[in-house]
Amino acid sequence: MIAEISHHGRAFRVDLSKPIDLSMPLVAGEGQVRAWSVEPVRMEPVRNGDTIYAVSEGAPVNFRTITFNPHGHGTHTESVGHISPEGHPVGEQLKRYFFTAQLVSLLPEERRAPDNRTDLVITLEQLRNVVNERPPEALVLRTLPQRDTGPRDWTDTNPPYLQSTACAWLRSIGVKHLLLDLPSVDREEDGGVLAAHHAFWDFPNTVDVERTITELLHIPGDVRDGDYLLELQVVHFMNDAAPSRPLLYALLP
């Protein structure tokens, strides 16, 4: 299905029948993606006395209770409520779900951290060199080299992260939605500073309920850098973060 879209005087076409899924599935058990020391996802049939609500156990339906953490298990989108006392649920934040987007791939640079560890960091200068002259509403960031796309536990791995000045700059040029294939825009252990989160939302100077951050993407290796249309599907959770399913649509000639 071909759709014609106009945004701020720019007209383009997309094929809505060919989405590119950037999300990771939520799967129960060991060996799946997770971060922040959370326990594995659990999906367990409800039990009522001797009745186990699983078709394999003779029940008429499968009826499972699912236990997971939005931040630690798979692709999720978060609001400023992640760092503010009020919470500001992400599930009621978006007023529309389609946005102009740019996908960029960057190799993080080595930086010496205060604890003397060697960090991998996406810098302000790197982003300045690749973001379009006409900034997109959403920036999708793929870190290089392209990693094994299989599930992994990110806990205690000191993943790459973004400079807070880079996030402040993205905010200043009008980027509303920041998406990346890492567990956080911030350093895994930073003493609770969360400088990149604060910079992107300009918190506590303001309470920005328009911008979102989406983490733990899976970006297929054959998807090229460039301009896209983003559809940001977010579960209607009354929580600071919710599972999400970002979809890209290639722009047609």
Span 142-168, pLDDT tens digits: 999 976 656 789 999 999 999 999 999
Supply the pLDDT for residue 1: 85
DSSP 3-state of 237: coil
- 2-24+70-252 belongs to which CATH class? alpha beta
Contacts of 16 (CB under 8 A, 6+ apart): 1, 2, 3, 249
In terms of phi and psi (left: phi > 0; alpha: psi -120 to 50; beta: otherwise), the region of 68 is: beta
Tokens of 7: 């945004």
Ordered by start, the domain boundaries in the chain are 2-24+70-252
Task: Give the Cα separation of 197 and 184 in Å (integer).
Answer: 9
Supply the pLDDT for residue 8: 67
Cis peptide before 145 (omega within 30 of 0): yes
Q: What is the pTM of this model?
A: 0.95
Task: Give the Cα separation of 194 and 197 in Å (integer).
Answer: 6
Task: Give the Cα separation of 117 and 51 in Å (integer).
Answer: 53
Per-residue pLDDT tens for 35-59? 999 999 999 999 999 999 999 999 9
Supply the pLDDT for residue 226: 97
Q: Are strands 98-106 and 226-234 parallel, antiparallel or unpaired?
A: antiparallel
Task: Give the Cα separation of 41 and 175 in Å (integer).
Answer: 32
